[in-house]
Amino acid sequence: MTHESRITNHESRVKESPHKGKTGIKRVWNALFYSIDGLAAAFRHEDAFRQEVFLAALLIPTVLFLPASGLGKALMIGAVLLVLIVELLNSAVEAAVDRTSVENHPLAKRAKDIGSAAVFIALVNVPVVWLLVLFG
């Protein structure tokens, strides 16, 4: 069996989501509701995400009253939103790892620790960006 036929054979056995075939506006419409479901699930089940949403709800309106250029304000808001994005990805990794197994395993710990480190870096980025914009 050639390499190409093995790939084709494997691809024919992979079970794809039934929603993968959707195209155009129907796909975009479905994606919107999947995204809303994901945000709601994160807010409902993830304490850290709720805390970071609260922080964002305080910081983002504050930006509007600070003496910064439009670009500076965009960077400040972007830094805050980056925390939420990274937290969502970290929560997704944690959920997938927990779905695979709840037993302690070095690779599961590594995956979760790396996700946590990414959130930490995103959080450190917020005051760095804000201080540079305001005082740099």
User: How many other β-carbons are positioned within 10 Å of the β-carbon of residue 60?
Assistant: 14
- Taking the alpha carbons at both ends of the chain, their separation in whole angstroms is 63
pLDDT digits (tens, 9 = 90+) for 16-66: 666 566 778 999 999 999 999 999 999 999 999 999 999 999 999 999 999
pLDDT digits (tens, 9 = 90+) for 78-112: 999 999 999 999 999 999 999 998 889 999 999 99
Does 87 participate in catalysis according to the annotation? yes
For the chain, the domains span 1-45, 46-136
Residues 16, 46, 52, 87: which is the catalytic one? 87
Which residues, at least 6 apart from 48, have a Cβ–Cβ distance to it below 8 Å? 87, 91, 119
DSSP 87: H
CATH number listed for the domain at residues 46-136: 1.10.287.3610
What pTM was estimated for this model as a whole? Answer: 0.82
Alpha-carbon span 109 to 98, nearest angstrom: 10
Alpha-carbon span 116 to 83, nearest angstrom: 11
Angle subtended by helix axes 70-100 and 47-63, to nearest 10: 170
The 3-state DSSP class for residue 18 equals coil
Task: For residue 59, give the nearest of 39, 83, 38, 40 by alpha carbon.
Answer: 83
Torsion over CA: 131, 60, 48, 82 (sign): negative
Report the pLDDT value the prediction gives residue 134, as an integer from 0 to 100.
97
